[in-house]
Amino acid sequence: MKNLRKKFDLFCFKNRDKGIPNLMLYISLGTALVYLFSSMSGSTYLYGLLYFDRGLILQGQIWRLITYPLTYNAGNLLLTAIALLCYYSLGRAMENMWGTLRFNLYYLTGVVLMDIYCMIFGGYASVSYLNMSLFLAYATMYPDATFLLFFIIPIKAWIFALVDLVMVLVGLFTYPFPSNLFSVISLANYFLFFGKDALNVIPMSWRTNASRLFRRKSKGSGPNVIHFNAGSYQASTASPKAPYTHRCTVCGRTDVSNPELEFRYCSRCKGYYCYCEDHINNHSHIQ
């Protein structure tokens, strides 16, 4: 699995400019046009033509498999405009970081997985959960980014991400089947693309404290005994050598645990701090 992920990352890197550039721009503009047309005409005909419906898809209206992301509606014009602008900005930032191909695959994978689930179990594909996967991906790559709640209260991106994940977990036990799994399926692309890197959304200090809390000594281990014999004194008194050469200050990954990564040292941080390729341009500078 590790080699497969490495090959996939390399493939996306070599073909980063392939695909549909500015995908979120087209989706945001299309959603805005659908909303404005429906508002001015006072009819939901266009929404009815684009939303996901398994029965109509089985009758031949297969375009609904890919057009339902255009049916997003936040409730009124102002909220819809703000949400679309936000999702466009998140998608643009992710595309700049990942490249066009990887971002296209990320978003379209979420669409396809939701299509498959809804075609098997029925129900209506949720655009809100699909857009949530964008935010979670952004918060994982930029956990210290700040958003203004009600345009006043500054809150870190990782806080919003944890709240979203808690809501998904609550919905998993609250809503009846199969609706309770919609959020999990729509976020499957997030877990599929990030894997264990999804833990990066949790602050490094929390992960460090948790690892210390749950670290236990192996059962039956007695006190450490140092055996002195010929030629071993110098080795036993020498300071232990770290099992790695480079370690990311943000995520904790090393050149041993992730040999496919490149590591760099930040010249703007006060001190000698190392960062992996995912965080060298995405971290708070230490002063």
- CATH code of residue 81: 1.20.1540.10
pTM of the model: 0.70
Residues 217-258: pLDDT tens digits? 444 455 555 544 444 444 444 444 557 788 888 888 888 888
Q: At what angle do helices 23-41 and 77-98 cross, to 10 degrees?
A: 170
Q: Of 200, 220, 254, which marks where a domain is finished?
A: 200
- The verdict on 12 and 134 lying in the same domain is yes
Q: Of 150, 170, 200, which marks where a domain is finished?
A: 200
Residues 128-173: pLDDT tens digits? 888 888 888 888 888 888 887 767 788 888 888 888 888 888 888 8
- The verdict on 166 and 248 lying in the same domain is no
Contacts of 17 (CB under 8 A, 6+ apart): 99, 100, 101
Domain that holds residue 28: 7-200
Could you tell me the pLDDT band of residue 184, with boundaries at 50, 70 and 90? confident
> 178: cis peptide before it, omega within 30°?
yes
Q: How many domains, in total, are found in the chain?
A: 2
- The verdict on 160 and 281 lying in the same domain is no
* Residue with the larger pLDDT of the pair 39 and 149: 39
- The verdict on 277 and 167 lying in the same domain is no
Residue 267 falls within a domain, yes or no? yes
C-alpha closest to that of 131 among 151, 111, 104, 154: 111
- The verdict on 123 and 181 lying in the same domain is yes
Residue 96 falls within a domain, yes or no? yes
- The verdict on 160 and 258 lying in the same domain is no
Token representation of residue 101: 């191909």
Strands 153-156 and 263-265: unpaired
- The verdict on 71 and 188 lying in the same domain is yes
Q: Of 200, 224, 254, which marks where a domain is finished?
A: 200
Residue 111 falls within a domain, yes or no? yes
User: How open is the CA angle 19-21-25, to the nearest 5 degrees?
Assistant: 135
